[in-house]
Amino acid sequence: MTRWLITGGAGMVGTDVRDELLDRNETVIAPGKDDLDITDEQTVRSAVRDAKPAVIVNCAAYTRVDDAETNEHLANAINGSAVEFLARAANDAGALLVQISTDFVFDGSKRAPYEVNDRIGPLSAYGRSKLLGEVAATHAKEHLIVRTAWLFGTHGPNFVEAIRNQVRKGTSPLRVVNDQRGRPTYTPHLANALIRLSLNPAARGIVHYADEGECTWFDLAKAIVEESGASTEVVPVTTAEFPRPAKRPAYSVLSTERYERITGVKPESWRAGLHEYIHAR
């Protein structure tokens, strides 16, 4: 049995990781952000010293992509500096540090799935802050950085729920961007992947995990409407027609080749995750 410390344990990803570990009868400590402020180094050191974990999974993050453009200092503190504190504490405890990162570390100029060693070039403050976290995580003697993408799950705000809320309000047509492409990922699938990788000594350094199947936000919105049994019209628009404060990569499909090679397991389907999500809520 392994002792686990999950930071951000009450968030969308942290809750699913915690629940999956508890289902496996693992020993889990999963403080939420109100119980553990990861931007306070002394608090982090004390929490890790008390928990005595073999694995620290950092699910705490600043995820408000557009707000980060005007709050980059805060995003850097949570997504960057705090990871340095966790890395030092992991070294003191002899623990593995698992850091969750993002497809937003890439600039989207590629047109084939991004491999773990491809050139990075974040376009947004959020992407830059997560890249700081990747660098900080490497300061843990034993570290695993898992880049993932387009997350949706039942324990936090996400694109799927935002579309469903518009459907409930009767908004029609829905105008959704059709020139950004990625791999949607259901957070219980990610939780399983994180645990599988953490327990595999060959899975260290950077690994990509995203659910099987790529699409645009427009494709995903159509699937959400279809899965919900609604008749709402979904209309494709360009990114230029739908300006946002933070620039997004046009193409951020992650290659999961290394994940599949290390684990011998194919990623699960985002369509299956969407079906489960809608029926769970």
Q: Tens digit of pLDDT for each residue in 133-185?
A: 999 999 999 999 999 999 999 999 999 999 999 999 999 899 999 999 999 99
| Inside any domain, residue 238 | no
Which residue type, as a one-letter code, is found at position 172?
Answer: S
Domain count across the chain: 1
Strand partners, 58: 7, 99
Answer whether residue 281 shows pLDDT above 80.
no
Provide the residue range defining the domain that includes 122.
Answer: 3-158+183-214+252-272
- Tell me how far apart the terminal alpha carbons of the chain are, to the nearest angstrom: 32
Known catalytic residue at 186:
no
| Mean local confidence (pLDDT), 48-70 | 97
- What confidence category does residue 17 fall into, taking pLDDT thresholds of 50, 70 and 90? very high
| Mean local confidence (pLDDT), 117-137 | 98
Q: What is the CATH number of the domain that holds 199?
A: 3.40.50.720
Q: Is the pTM of this model over 0.85?
A: yes
Other C-beta atoms lying within 10 Å of the C-beta of residue 208: 27
**Backbone dihedral angles phi then psi of residue 186, each to the nearest 5 degrees:** -80, 130
Catalytic residue among 62, 114, 126, 259: 126
Q: What is residue 105's predicted lDDT score, i.e. its pLDDT?
A: 98
| Inside any domain, residue 171 | no
| Mean local confidence (pLDDT), 63-73 | 96
Does residue 48 contact residue 56 with C-beta atoms inside 8 Å? Answer: yes
Q: What is residue 129's predicted lDDT score, i.e. its pLDDT?
A: 98
| Inside any domain, residue 225 | no
| Mean local confidence (pLDDT), 240-268 | 96
**Backbone dihedral angles phi then psi of residue 124, each to the nearest 5 degrees:** -130, 165
| Inside any domain, residue 262 | yes
Q: Which residue, 17, 14, 25, 114, is CA-closest to 63?
A: 14
| Mean local confidence (pLDDT), 250-264 | 97
Q: What is residue 1's predicted lDDT score, i.e. its pLDDT?
A: 78
Does residue 75 contact residue 129 with C-beta atoms inside 8 Å? Answer: yes
| Inside any domain, residue 172 | no
Q: What is residue 280's predicted lDDT score, i.e. its pLDDT?
A: 82
Q: What is residue 232's predicted lDDT score, i.e. its pLDDT?
A: 95
Percent of the residues in the chain that have a pLDDT greater than 70, as a whole number: 100
CA distance 159 to 165: 10
- The continuous run of DSSP H or E covering 272 comes out as helix 270-280
